[in-house]
Structure 1
Amino acid sequence: MGSQEVLGQAARLASSGLLMQVLFRLITFVLNAFILRFLSKEIVGIVNVRLTLLYSTTIFLAREAFRRACLSGGTQRDWSQTLNLLWLTVPLGVFWSFLLGWVWLQLLEVPDPDVIPHYGAGVVLFGLSAVVELLGEPLWVLAQSHMFIKLKVIAESLSVILKSVLTAFLVLYWPHCGLYIFSVAQLFYTTVLVLCYVIYFTKLLGSPEYSKRQTLPISRMTDLLPTITGSAAFVNRKEAKLTWSFFKQSFLKQILTEGERYVMTFLNVLNFGDQGVYDIVNNLGSLVARLIFQPIEESFYIFFAKVLEREKGATHQKQEDVAVAAMVLESLLKLALLAGLTITVFGFAYSQLALDIYGGAMLSSGSGPLLLRSYCLYVLLLAINGVTECFTFAAMSKEEVDRYNFTMLALSSSFLVVSYLLTRWFGSVGFILANCFNMGIRITQSLCFIHRYYQESPHRPLAGLYPSPLLLGAFALSGGITGVSEVFFCCEHGWPARLAHVTVGAVCLGVTLGIAFFTETKLIHFLRTQFGVSRPTNKAV
Structure 2
Amino acid sequence: MGSQEVLGQAARLASSGLLLQVLFRLITFVLNAFILRFLSKEIVGIVNVRLMLLYSTTTFLAREAFRRACLSGAPRRDWKQTLNLLWLTVPLGVFWSMFLGWVWLQLLEVPNPNVVPHYGTGVVLFGLSAVVELLGEPFWILAQAHMFVKLKCTFTMSLQVVAESLSVILKSVLTAFLVLWLPHWGLYIFSLAQLFYTTFLVLCYIIYFTKLLGSPESTKQQTLPVSRMTDLLPNITGSGVFVNWSEAKLTWSFFKQSFLKQILTEGERYVMTFLNVLNFGDQGVYDIVNNLGSLVARLIFQPIEESFYIFFAKVLEREKDASRQKQEDVAVAAAVLESLLKLALLAGLTITVFGFAYSQLALDIYGGAMLSAGSGPVLLRSYCLYVLLLAINGVTECFTFAAMSKEEVDRYNFTMLALSSSFLLFSYLLTRWCGSVGFILANCFNMSMRITQSLRFIHRYYRGSPHRPLAGLHLSPVLLGAFALSGGITSVSEVLLCCERGWPARLVHVAVGAFCLAVTLGTAFLTETKLIHFLRTQFSVSRLPDKTT
Q: TM-score, normalised by structure 1?
A: 0.88
Moved more, 26-35 or 294-303: 294-303
What is the aligned partner in structure 1 of residue 356 from structure 2?
348
Aligned to 2:426: 418
2:133, 2:202 within 8 Å by CA — same for their partners in 1? Answer: yes
Q: CA deviation at 1:483?
A: 0.9
Kept in 2, the 8 Å contact 1:139–1:197? The answer is no
Q: 2:382 aligns with which of 361, 366, 374?
A: 374
**Alignment match, 1:383:** 391
The two structures, once aligned, show a CA RMSD in angstroms of 3.3
Whether the 8 Å CA contact 2:323–2:465 is kept in 1: the answer is yes
Give how far 1:341 is off. Answer: 1.0
- What's the counterpart of residue 141 of structure 1? 144
Q: Distance in 1 between matches of 2:245 and 2:324?
A: 25
Alignment equivalent of 2:295, drawn from 283, 287, 297 = 287
Q: Is contact 2:8–2:541 with CA below 8 Å preserved after alignment?
A: no
Q: Whole-Å Cα distance in 1 between the matches of residues 35 and 198 of structure 2?
A: 20
Structure 1 residues 255-297: Cα deviation after superposition (integer angstroms, max 9, x where no partner): 3442221111111111111111111111111111122222223
Match for residue 124 of structure 1? 124
Which residue does 1:159 correspond to in 2? Answer: 167
In the alignment, the residues of structure 1 paired with residue 373 and residue 143 of structure 2 have an alpha-carbon distance, to the nearest angstrom, of 42
- Deviation track 1:65-123 (CA, whole Å, cap 9, x = no partner) reads 6656766778x654838767766655554454344333222221111223212222222
Match of 2:445 in 1: 437
Counterparts of 2:243 and 2:315, CA distance in 1: 27
**Of 391-400 and 281-290, the range deviating more from structure 2:** 391-400
Structure 1 302/106 Cα, relative in aligned 2: closer, same or farther at 3 Å? farther
AA partner of residue 18 (structure 2): L
Q: Which of residues 141, 166, 173 in structure 1 aligns to 2:181?
A: 173
Give CA-to-partner distance per residue, 1:397-417, whole Å, 9 cap, x none. Answer: 544444333323322332122
Deviates more, 1:478-487 or 1:252-261: 252-261
CA distance in 2, matches of 1:412, 1:315: 33
How far residue 175 of structure 1 moved from its aligned partner, in angstroms, is: 1.6
Give, in angstroms, the shift of residue 212 of structure 1: 4.6
Aligned to 2:35: 35
Structure 1: stretches of 5+ with no match in the other structure: none
- 2:67–2:141 Cα contact (<8 Å) kept: no
The secondary structure found in structure 2 opposite 1:116 is coil
Aligned 8 A contact 2:69 2:247 in 1: no
Q: 1:79 to 1:393 in 2, by over 3 A?
A: farther
Give the 5 Å matches for 1:401-480.
401-480=409-488
Q: Which amino acid aligns with 2:519?
A: V
Alignment match, 2:191 = 183
User: 1:371-390 deviations in whole A, cap 9, x for unaligned?
Assistant: 11011111111222223333
- Give 2:123's aligned amino acid: V
Could you say which residue in structure 1 is the equivalent of 2:114? Answer: 114
- Compared CA separation, residues 303 and 321, structure 1 to 2 (3 A): same
**1:435/1:204 CA distance change after superposition, 3 Å:** same
Change (3 A) 1:223 1:329: farther
- Offset from partner CA, 1:154-190 (integer Å, 9 cap, x none): 1222111111001111111222221121112112222
Counterpart amino acid of 1:440?
S
Structure 2 unaligned regions, length at least 5: none
Amino acid at match of 2:115: V
Q: Which moved more, 1:480-489 or 1:512-521?
A: 512-521
Give the superposition deviation at 1:333: 2.5
Alpha-carbon spacing, 1:22–1:538, altered in 2? closer, same or farther (3 Å): same
2:46 is matched with 46
Q: What letter is aligned with 2:14? A: A
Residues 297-326 of structure 1: CA deviation (Å, up to 9, x unaligned): 333344445555555555566665555444
Code of the residue aligned with 1:462 in structure 2: it is: L
Letter of the 2:194 counterpart:
Q
**TM-score, normalization by structure 2:** 0.87
Q: Deviations over 1:307-353 (max 9, x none)?
A: 55555555566665555444443333222222111111100000010
Provide closer, same or farther for how the CA distance between residues 493 and 304 of structure 1 changes in structure 2, counting only shifts above 3 A: same
State the distance in 2 between where 1:247 and 1:446 align. Answer: 27
After superposition, residues 463-502 of structure 1 pair within 5 angstroms as 463-502=471-510
> Which range is displaced more, 108-117 or 214-223?
214-223
Q: 1:424 to 1:389 in 2, by over 3 A?
A: same
Q: CA deviation at 1:56?
A: 2.3
| Kept in 2: contact 1:148–1:540 (CA 8 A) | no
Change (3 A) 1:72 1:494: farther
CA shift, 1:515, in A, is 2.1
Aligned to 1:58: 58
Which structure's CA Rg is the greater one? 2
Indicate the percent of aligned positions where both proteins have the same amino acid: 83
State how many pairs are aligned. 539
> Aligned partner of 2:144: which letter?
V
Q: Distance in 1 between matches of 2:12 and 2:335?
A: 17
* Cα distance in 2 for residues equivalent to 1:268 and 1:40: 19
Following the alignment from structure 1 to structure 2, what is the Cα–Cα distance between the partners of residues 217 and 451? Answer: 45
